[in-house]
Amino acid sequence: MIDQFQRPLHDLRISVTDRCNFRCVYCMPKEVFGKDFAFMERDELLSFEEMTRLARISVAHGVEKIRLTGGEPLLRKGIEELVAMLAELRTPAGRPIDIAMTTNGSVLALKAQALKDAGLKRVTVSLDSLDDATFRAMNDVKFPVSKVLNSLDVAHSAGLGPIKINMVLKRGQNDQDIVAMARHFKGTPYILRFIEFMDVGSSNGWEMADVVPSGEVVARINAELPLEEVAPNYNGETSRRWRYRDGEGEIGVISSVTQSFCHSCSRARVSTDGKLFTCLFATEGHDLRALMRGGSTDEQLAAVMTQIWRERTDRYSELRSAETGRLRASAKKRIEMSYIGG
């Protein structure tokens, strides 16, 4: 599958639940996702069989990586069963696919070994500060940072690696911890990545003034822990890599606001209720659940998915970089990250 800008489809991200036990200020703020918020009913969610069916069709047409997201994916009961089903898939050349998961780490220690045994390859854990007070404030449910750190060690021992750690930066909330995070994870098996606060959805109160540019992040770290840039692992990698000059590991920066990477984006996303999205900043998706439950064959589904991707022209971040104000004023309400997955 090749879109209008000659971008292939290589990565599929599947949101397995719209629920999360955190209320992070940049994703699911309590003011919007409070006690009265109506989450999806069980029959609205794709079943594991339906998710695997879409994954199988996608793999047959070029997808090599599948990432399970949410919400918090480990809240979906029996998630190991889905991992095991996906682990049986093979590319047309007969290779197994790369299965990964993004999690907040809150229950990862309990699930790590079962996930590894089921076929999960890697995990990415969200961790926005090592300072307990800051971390509790950002997850807004007073969850302690010590439990996430323990989950990292358990997941590493289970063989879920290399483990990446995502730190979303919001100026004035946790950017004071940039160097402390780098120093803590330097020389460990973990790869720390700094992510610019993004205007995904409409509920997180995004302002450009809250963004800590990746260039500033690298400069702050380099001033104390000298860095050198290294080549990406593969074409289309979202993270720019920087290695410590003394050889003790690396960091990454994801600059979707200040240095967009739309030109190489090879990702599609399937929401919890089966809508296909071709951009993280989309306003609407394509309902694949209705097609599946309406009796469409695999061939018919493949034809629809192929056509959607071939017509793809998304490049929101590139446009936003040039004309943020006009886009935000004129855009429809965008899909929330908790619905589409990060």
Ordered by start, the domain boundaries in the chain are 11-165+264-340
CATH superfamily of the domain spanning 11-165+264-340: Aldolase class I (3.20.20.70)
Alpha carbons within 13 A on the beta-carbon side of 130: 13
Question: How much is the pLDDT for 332?
Answer: 58
- What residues form the annotated binding site for [4Fe-4S] cluster? 20, 24, 27, 262, 265, 279
- Residues 310 and 303: their CA atoms lie apart, in Å, by 10
Residue 291: exposure state from Cβ atoms within 10 A (0-12, 13-18, ≥19): middle
Confidence of residue 129 (pLDDT cuts 50, 70, 90): very high
Q: Examine the pLDDT at 280 and tell me if it is beyond 60.
A: yes
Q: What is the band of 315 on the pLDDT scale with cuts at 50, 70, 90?
A: confident
Residue 333, amino acid? K
Task: Tell whether the model's pLDDT for residue 320 goes beyond 70.
Answer: no
State percent of the chain over pLDDT 90: 75
The type of residue at 313 is T
Q: How confident is the model at residue 6 (pLDDT cuts 50, 70, 90)?
A: very high
The token duo for 267 is 């990702």
Give the residue with greater pLDDT, 200 vs 42: 42
Q: Considering the chain, what is the average pLDDT of its residues?
A: 91
Q: Which of 91-105, 119-133, 318-332 shows the lowest per-residue confidence on average (mean pLDDT)?
A: 318-332
Q: Which residue has the higher pLDDT, 105 or 257?
A: 105
Whether residue 250 contacts residue 237, with contact meaning beta carbons closer than 8 Å, is answered with: no
Annotated binding-site members for GTP = 13, 67, 102, 164, 267-269
- Token readout for 208 is 């450009």
Residue 255 DSSP label: -
Annotated binding site for S-adenosyl-L-methionine: 26, 71, 126, 198
**Residue list for the binding site:** 13, 20, 24, 26-27, 67, 71, 102, 126, 164, 198, 262, 265, 267-269, 279
Can you give the pLDDT at residue 327? 47
Name the DSSP letter for residue 44: G
- DSSP for residue 222: H
Neighbours of 141 (CB within 10 A): 12
Alpha-helical runs (H) found in the chain: 48-60, 79-87, 108-118, 132-139, 145-158, 178-185, 214-224, 288-293, 298-310, 316-330, 337-340
User: Which pLDDT score, from 0 to 100, does residue 78 have?
Assistant: 97
pLDDT of residue 26: 80
pLDDT bucket at 246, cuts 50 / 70 / 90 = very high
